[in-house]
Structure 1
């Protein structure tokens, strides 16, 4: 048994990483791996511990089996396993959680764990053809879930156009362009953006900071300030409201800020 335990130990980092993604929780994931280890050590040949590196795939399948088992409540009664991760504020985790369960596991096994399509199909008892179709569905749905509706607030029409083209080139959608605070507020209600790129000083005397405060209060929306006046954010105690890209900006700086915003946890709404 000690030999099998050492063999199993080599797989623990992979099992823990996958179990945490599968459950959406560090604690639940580690509990699942503990149960997996207990079962596997008691029946090493069944779960591949006597087959060297070939043990990894059966162990993933065992994690699925245990995760899908009904759980007992404190009184010893089975209350049914949801087989789904816990709710998460992280966009990618929310996108994955919205997938059908087989597609979610397939996506994680290939993208997170680095399995080949054939290996992941084996773990999930799919044919390669089935796995190919389901993986395409998963990737398309995750991509769609992460696509942002972007509001651009910039009173310089040329800069607004340039920013809009960068947003579109990244695969996101520009849902509106505003040159004033009033126009921005109107678009917020009409277009329901999920991300806003804001100038700080607007030509009509309006303020991108006020727009950002409104967005955080009403929508808990992510914002990016694109400005030459980042000192205003310090004076107005607004640096916490969003990332800052300083003008004159580079294309790379805008792209990097948008990418960070897409994968950041949902901000906490202001009281």
Structure 2
């Protein structure tokens, strides 16, 4: 590989690495496990760059390289000895899922791959990839309904999120526009899931609000929403397992809520 090709490879991988780390993090339920798979992917590409199919589909190529390692390793969802509480319950749920459905759902909704791209990433026929996505929606929708708190300062977005969550069969405990109101709301009624923006109305932080709540209530699944996901996926500290980019789609929210309720790992960002 010549110098220009190496530089292009570095650019392709670098631009898409934050999203691979997000996917691996949500897929494994652990930042450490997710990063282990991401690092293994990078090492595989660097050791044999001629096998990397970059070009116009750089993101597909990177995720395809990841999946080659993920599947050959046995698709291990973290270390069982380290799993406790709600994550342990989620692990039990995972054992009942149809194989490969969770991967297909995350690829299609959170990472916004088309069914054809999902098929290429997973090295599967298009019909199989589409069926896996359909099965995933059906299986996740069977999960028990819960209580969701929304932390969002934009009225239109908060109303939209409330509608999506309610349509899924969950009950919204309330909507908070500031950090203080979020903490107050959490004290009035505990939630099973927090759906939070990052920047709030009074310039307070949704991250701080979530950390305040978790400090009192303990382990809860959290979904963060941000227009700049790459800023939160730096590898420099704890990161959210579930992260939705703005502007989001209804399918992304439904997938993330189902995933978070189903397999929650709530290592949160510390300001």
Q: Give TM-score scaled by structure 1 length.
A: 0.47
Q: Which is higher, the Rg of structure 1 or of structure 2?
A: 1
